[in-house]
Structure 1
Amino acid sequence: MSDLPALPVTFRPGRTRVVLLTAGAVIFVVISGIALLLEQLGPGERLSFIVTGGLIFWVLAQLARVRVVADDTGVTVVNIASRRRLDWAEILRVNLRPGDPWVFLDLSDGTSLPALGIQPGIAKQQAIADARALRALVENRSVRDPESGPGKDQG
């Protein structure tokens, strides 16, 4: 398949990432600026303002770090508070249905893993293209055992 992306490839919500990091930086600067401009604040209060701004920036940066990285051996899904490495054969299906907030990966262990690195929030067309590319990679890379196909489970 010639339309497969070259590996390794990283999928991430680019526009959402820019918005989150920009908002975090602006919030940090504004809160820190207020802390430094308010003359009636003591050093501890100023520090608490600056730390609060830093925490807000850190939370937004955590939201912006989500990604899905595909390489020759499998896929790494980095979500807000977790990272999971999957072999190609572990991924059965890549789903992005209308109204879904992000892609879901149906796994061979019967579970579904959200992949926040592909989300249609701000850039819907890009998310659809990324989901299709990941789906094509999964279909191309997954090795299925022909003996375990439909009708082969009863022997």
Structure 2
Amino acid sequence: MSDQSALPVTFRPGRTRAVLLTGGVAIFVVITTVALLLEQLSPGERLSFVFTGAVLFGVLATLARVKVVADETGVTVVNIVSRRHLEWAEILHVNLRPGDPWVFLDLSDGTSLPVLGIQPGIAKERAIADARTLRALAEAHATRDLP
């Protein structure tokens, strides 16, 4: 694989994302419909129902935003509430061991960073393939960046 043609590449848990977003829309629609159909509710109560549905949708949409973007400069990891850009040299190893809920990156500062954008929950084979691709990219860039 040529690094030039392969980058940038984005990894997302596609099926999980679809389930979360579909569920969020369904919850919002159901709660809003209930608010509109219950005649005994005041306008304020109806608004609170709609607001609650919107908050629940927002939570599920936030969970669905996880991704990993690999480009020439490194890897950007977008987890639930954080975003971190790593230079290729900072990534020592890409791990997805049996039983892991997602990929972990071993970093040059001695820490490990969870990568929720690659998770074997619903699509195990896809997650394994994505982890292998990210590992190959990290290894290719690590050897390319050596003096």
TM range (shorter): over 0.9
Q: Percent identity?
A: 75
Distance in 1 (alpha carbons) for counterparts of 2:100 and 2:2:
25
Following superposition, the deviation at residue 145 of structure 1 comes to 5.0
Aligned 1:1-155 pairs, distance under 5 A: 2=1, 6-143=6-143, 145=146
Aligned residues: 145
Compare the two structures and name the one with the higher helix fraction.
2
Describe the SS at the equivalent of 1:125: helix
**RMSD of Structure 2 on Structure 1 (CA):** 1.4
Following superposition, the deviation at residue 20 of structure 1 comes to 0.3
Following superposition, the deviation at residue 3 of structure 1 comes to 7.5
Distance in 2 (alpha carbons) for counterparts of 1:41 and 1:99:
48
Describe the SS at the equivalent of 2:106: strand
Runs of 4+ in 1 over 3 A off after TM superposition: 143-146
Following superposition, the deviation at residue 8 of structure 1 comes to 0.2
Distance in 1 (alpha carbons) for counterparts of 2:83 and 2:28:
27
Specify every segment of 5 or more residues in structure 2 that has no aligned partner in the other structure, as ranges.
Answer: none
Larger radius of gyration: 1
| TM-score for the superposition, normalised by structure 1 | 0.90
Distance in 1 (alpha carbons) for counterparts of 2:98 and 2:36:
47
Q: Report the residue type matching 1:16 in the other structure.
A: T
| TM-score for the superposition, normalised by structure 2 | 0.95
Q: Report the residue type matching 1:100 in the other structure.
A: D
